[in-house]
Chains A and B, each alone.
Chain A
Amino acid sequence: MTATTHRSSNPAAQLGYDQPPARKGFFTDTSICIGCKACEVACKEWNMVPEDGLELSGMSYDNTQGLGASTWRHVAFIEQPKSLGGQESNLQHEGVDALALAGGMATSPAPSTRTQVDLGMPGTVLPGAEGDAGTATPFRWLMESDVCKHCTHAACLDVCPTGALFRTEFGTVVVQDDVCNGCGYCVPACPYGVIEKREGPTGNDAVGLAQKCTLCYDRLKGDLEPACAKACPTKSIQFGDLDELRERAQVRVDQLVAAGETGARLYGHDPDDGVGGTGAMFLLLDEPEVYGLPPDPVVTTRDLPEMWRRAVLAAVTMLAGGVAVFARERGNR
């Protein structure tokens, strides 16, 4: 990993910025997220993002459901019949020193020899049915605060025909509200489904324009950290220089794997991935698609030279055909 860190240098440097600051980004460590949604709220307050529907999703505790024009941070909530690392559920807790266990995180815990005890808790199956108390039910909650990835190769920025989307001096990707004309091209271009056109009554703020996380461009200019990172009580959302965050993320994932959480992995940290690495990376505990993230995102414009070649071929075919339908027929109409 350390061998590749130099390549994360700020893409703004190649765009004519004179001595830009270090590339800024997020490292979201989902293993310590408690799903409090402080980030969602702080983001809305600071950026004056309007309400985006007050319905119950019925799918989980997550009623926000996904990123969009009026949701720039979204806390995903997943309930799974899997255990979290060496953690065991449905066990008797008397005599267990939780603090001591937490302190021993660095080593993989030995398989438990303790027996299952009925704690008299309400069951998870119908009364009288088999397999309640005494049967270990592996179970865990995963929480992840999702956000715009501020891609190194950002499809949204590539396809924007007005130049409304631009790369800031911090290496982040931001929409200029006074330039965007709401063509909507960036929306299907984003491989993560982040950016969206804001709907609502015309005349309301930014309605009809593409909207997404700005990585708090205004705060960054004032030397403040983004609102979400500031509000996060567990430091699940960490803000900083991207190079440094990458190192920190690597240390953390190594620590978790050593502690027995073998599902821990980094997402978006690799400068060789399909989007050239992201400015917002994540530590996940399961496959990306479990969190609604694409497992192998690729910036669509990577294939653009091939697409233009095929389009030129098609246009030439049509032109040649047009000539042929007239040329082929002299005299016999």
Chain B
Amino acid sequence: MVPDANFTSYYGRPVVKPSPWTADIPAYLFMGGLAGGSSLLGAGADLSGRPMLRRGARLAALGALSGSFYALVHDLGRPARFHHMLRVAKATSPMSVGTWILTAYGPMAGLAAVSEATPFLSRRMRRSVLGRRLPTVGRAAGLVAAGLGPAVASYTAVLLADTATPTWHAARRDLPLVFVGSASAAAGGMGLILASPQEAGPARRMAIAGAALDLAASHTMESGMGVTVEPLHEGRAGTLLKAAKAFTTAGAALAAVGRRRRDVSALAGVSLLAGSVCTRFGLFEAGQQSARDPRYTVVPQRERLDQHARAHTPG
């Protein structure tokens, strides 16, 4: 543990401001990851001839995407102005970059999901020019969505890290790996729920590998954060992250043993989804807490200054 450093503050008042973001944002982190991972799974299922997994993953992607869009607009102070995001493109703003990634990804994931409607069309419509092309269009759109999905899942880590919120910024190195791990675990978990054991093989492997990456990257991340790691272990954030670890571990274990049983696989899927939700809400809450307590802003900055002073004092 880091030695308990003494620090001064202005009557214990925060130095930086916590984000004004509500539960919409951690919910979006989860749903964006789920959507991105599902698109990846859907395209693979399409190419490898797994119709049930393909359909489930594409629809999951569209559902999660719609939820994401709702959450993002709902969180704005002026929702009617959401399109102001499209006035500019700024590489210095992860939110701007994310907006453009979503703008490219959304229609593609949507088109892939819409192509699943082919069997429900009347025979005449299916025979029309559009109807005959729909599966091909769906495949092409699904492949583009699969290419962009990982970006949707990973940029959100930069969204949090590119702030003065002590715990998020200190986590910047490994947070993207945690997020793509969590996204893969969630999407794999969803695949386990939606596809039969005959088709769910890739979803299972994605779920287990994602869970392992999430847990391993979280461990590495925490060991390099200094004093700002504390909010990850305390209060509501601490409880959420403990639950996240338990759900993710249990989900991965169940996925591994439930190879032939749909009920066990589905349970594994639910557990992995719950783990991903808890990871996102836990990391979000920990950051908010680190901003509310001046200790996490002042102590690391003081240490940095003292180190600098020591390095420049002769003897």
Q: Give the residues from 280 to 303 in chain A that come closer than 8 angstroms, CB to CB, to chain B.
A: 287, 289-297, 300-301, 303
Question: Are B151 and A315 in contact, with the CB atoms below 8 A?
Answer: yes
How near does chain A come to B286, taking the closest CB pair, in angstroms? Answer: 13
Cβ of B44 and Cβ of A322 under 8 Å apart?
yes
Chain B residues with CB under 8 Å of A301's CB are 92, 162
Hey, which bits of chain B sit against chain A, CB under 8 A?
A: 7-11, 13-21, 36-37, 40-41, 44, 47-48, 75-79, 81-82, 84-85, 87-88, 90-96, 99, 146-147, 149-151, 153-155, 157-158, 161-165, 168-169, 172-177, 179-180, 183-184, 198-199, 201-203, 205-206, 209-210, 213, 287, 291, 294, 297-298, 301-302, 304-305
A159 near B147: Cβ-Cβ < 8 Å: no
A side interface size, CB within 8 A:
75
Give the complex CA separation of A163 and B86 in angstroms.
10
Alpha-carbon distance A326/B75, docked complex (angstroms): 37
Chain A, Cβ-Cβ closest to B172: A307
Within residues 306 to 330 of chain A, which ones have a CB less than 8 A from any CB in chain B?
306-308, 310-319, 321-326, 328-329
Cβ < 8 Å to B, chain A residues 95-120? none
In contact, A318 and B162 (Cβ under 8 angstroms):
no
Q: Is the CB of B77 within 8 A of A304?
A: no
* Contact in complex: B150, A318 (CB < 8 Å): yes
A residues within 8 A CB of B199?
333
For A18-62 the 0/1 string (1 means CB < 8 A from B) is: 000000000000000000000000000000000000000101100
Q: Does any Cβ of B come within 8 Å of A13's Cβ?
A: no
Residue of A nearest to B94 (CB): A159
Query: Which residues in B have their C-beta under 8 angstroms from that of A184?
Result: 19-21, 75-77
Contact check, A329 vs B202: say whether CB atoms are below 8 A apart: yes
Are B164 and A307 in contact (CB-based, < 8 A)?
A: no
Which residues of chain A are within 8 angstroms of B79 by Cβ–Cβ distance?
A: 181
**A294: which B residues are within 8 A, CB to CB?**
15-16, 297-298, 301
Check if B164 sits within 8 Å of A289, measured CB to CB. no
Bound Cα distance from A324 to B9, whole angstroms? 51
Known: A159-B92, A293-B15, A318-B153. A179 touches B87 (CB 8 A): yes
Q: Tell me the chain A residues, 155-203 only, with Cβ under 8 Å from chain B.
A: 155, 158-164, 179-185, 187-198
Q: Is the CB of A190 within 8 A of B17?
A: yes
Kindly list chain A residues whose C-beta atoms are within 8 Å of the C-beta of B78. 180-182, 208-209
- Decide if B10 touches A76 in the complex (CB within 8 Å): yes
Q: Which of B44, B94, B213 has a CB less than 8 Å from the CB of A323?
A: B44
Residues of A contacting B37 with CB < 8 Å?
Answer: 318, 322
Whole-angstrom CA separation of A158 from B164 in the bound complex = 13
> Does A85 have its Cβ within 8 Å of any Cβ on chain B?
no
| A271 within 8 Å of B (CB atoms) | no
Q: Within 8 Å CB of B180, what residues of A?
A: 314-315, 317-318
Closest Cβ of chain A to B11, distance in Å, is: 4
Q: Which of B14, B17, B44, B164 contacts A325 (CB 8 A)?
A: B44
- Shortest Cβ distance from residue B95 to the other chain A in the assembled complex, whole angstroms: 4
Other A-B pairs beyond A190-B164, A292-B10, A322-B150, 7, CB < 8 Å: A159-B94, A162-B85, A182-B76, A184-B77, A208-B78, A295-B298, A310-B158
What residues on A are CB-neighbors of B16 within 8 Å?
Answer: 188, 190-193, 294
